[in-house]
Structure 1
Amino acid sequence: MQQKKRYMDYKKHIEQYLENSGGIITASYCRSKKIPTIYLSRLVREGILQRAAEGLYISEAGMYDAYYYFQYRFKKAVFSYETALHLLGATDKIPQDMDVTVYYSYKFNKAPLGVNIHYVNKKIHNLGVVETRTMFNNPVRVYSYERTLCDFIAHEDAMDREVYIKLVRSYAHYAKRDIHTLYEIATSMGLDAKVKTLMELVYE
């Protein structure tokens, strides 16, 4: 009787979590809440959950959270460029492909489809990383607007000109802008002079 009550309590906790996560739950989350992961396997047998990847489970009614699922599989990847801006709510444009950044020595076992992979030196890979939430309320790691702006400036010649100009001008209206952080990141990337000149031209 006690065992059945414990199971029902765990099941209720898991179901409540699934309601707020778009139907996704991980084994690591359960361990953090002292829920034995054997109950996830039990819910799979009951048809309530399906195992999407090692340690990742999705409910039958769950929504497929592409961003969370991708980063769960490739934990070192950081969403960047237009994908970062979309996840930060800084643009209404929904990217056709994902933009992610990894360090040079990082290897994908199999190159994912529909993903633009950008490589940087390991020393700046985590520079400007922030956590935000997907539309399903799942946490993902993205580059801040400041880091994204620096990435665009660093690779200006490779960027779509219209997108580049709009990004630079839109920063003035970004509610969470942080000029101090922008210059810190720019300095770490060797872009301080270029960023300062650009900001003075745009916002004078």
Structure 2
Amino acid sequence: MDYIKQIEKHLKDSGGIITSLYCRENGIPTVYLSRLIEKGVLHRVDKGIYLTKNGDYDEFYFFQYKYSGSVFSYETALYLIGVTDKIIQVKDVTVSSKYKFNKPPVGVHVHYVKKEWLDLGVIVVKTMYGNSVRAYSYERTICDFILHKENMDPESYVKLLRGYSSYKHKNVHMLYEIAAKMGIASEVRDIMEVLL
């Protein structure tokens, strides 16, 4: 198989992004990435991530590729699931309390949670460039906002809760299940009885 053709096909299908992980998983020697860099076809965005000149610079995908233990949360999750069009100035991500960053990421607000809470309400969503990333569902985001109400912007808090009543993909059962596991079932139930 011609490795260069295989890489070119992937670049066409992926918006101009390729990773060294993709190459390893598909039996492509990573030396071919170096050759394409030398020819000016690719440039290195970050460790293991390469992009063509006209490729889509997908900051959400790149971030999660680099920090695979992270989940987009709070207002960033709401943006990714399409329930807010608020411009994201600082990304919110959640990681396990045991997760350590070698170098703290810039422009990111990191939330730490118990390991058993990290995967509660995780969904896979597409970025605007069509790449898959992990984010929290609306239901998990509601639980996070209620749990940390004192730290939330009051306007965003009210909009989040009111918006859920008209959210077409709402899953109240999942909301109560997540709330129970996070120890806030009664607070969530009281709020939802008023809203729904």
Please say if 1:195 is aligned against 2:173.
no
1:35 corresponds, among 14, 22, 28, to: 28
Corresponding residue for residue 165 of structure 1 = 158
Does the aligned pair in 1 maintain the 2:92–2:111 contact within 8 Å? yes
Does the aligned pair in 2 maintain the 1:20–1:136 contact within 8 Å? no
**Residues 64-109 of structure 1, C-alpha deviations (whole Å, 9 max, x = no match):** 2111111111111111000001011111112211001112222212
Tell which deviates more after alignment, 190-199 or 100-109: 100-109
1:55 corresponds, among 42, 48, 55, to: 48
Shift of 1:39: 2.2
Please say if 1:66 is aligned against 2:65.
no
SS in 1 for 2:45: strand
**Residues 26-85 of structure 1, C-alpha deviations (whole Å, 9 max, x = no match):** 122233334333322221222111122332111122232111111111111111000001
Find runs of 4+ consecutive structure 1 residues off by over 4 angstroms. Answer: none
Corresponding residue for residue 111 of structure 2 = 118
Between the aligned partners of 1:154 and 1:19, the Cα distance in structure 2 is 43
Please say if 1:139 is aligned against 2:135.
no
Does the aligned pair in 1 maintain the 2:74–2:144 contact within 8 Å? yes
SS in 2 for 1:112: coil
Amino acid in the other structure paired with 2:86: K
Between the aligned partners of 2:138 and 2:31, the Cα distance in structure 1 is 41
2:76 corresponds, among 77, 80, 83, to: 83
Shift of 1:13: 3.5
TM-score when scaled to structure 1?
A: 0.89
Between the aligned partners of 2:163 and 2:8, the Cα distance in structure 1 is 41
SS in 1 for 2:56: coil
What's the C-alpha RMSD, in Å, of the aligned pairs?
1.6
Shift of 1:151: 0.2
Tell me which structure has the larger Cα radius of gyration.
1
Between the aligned partners of 2:102 and 2:25, the Cα distance in structure 1 is 29
SS in 1 for 2:175: helix
Tell which deviates more after alignment, 100-109 or 138-147: 100-109
- Aligned identity (percent) is 53
SS in 2 for 1:44: helix
Amino acid in the other structure paired with 1:27: S
Unaligned runs of 5+ in 2: none
Between the aligned partners of 2:97 and 2:170, the Cα distance in structure 1 is 29
Shift of 1:157: 1.3
Amino acid in the other structure paired with 1:70: F
Q: 1:174 to 1:14 in 2, by over 3 A?
A: farther
Does the aligned pair in 1 maintain the 2:165–2:195 contact within 8 Å? no
Between the aligned partners of 2:120 and 2:64, the Cα distance in structure 1 is 17
SS in 2 for 1:43: helix
TM-score when scaled to structure 2?
A: 0.93
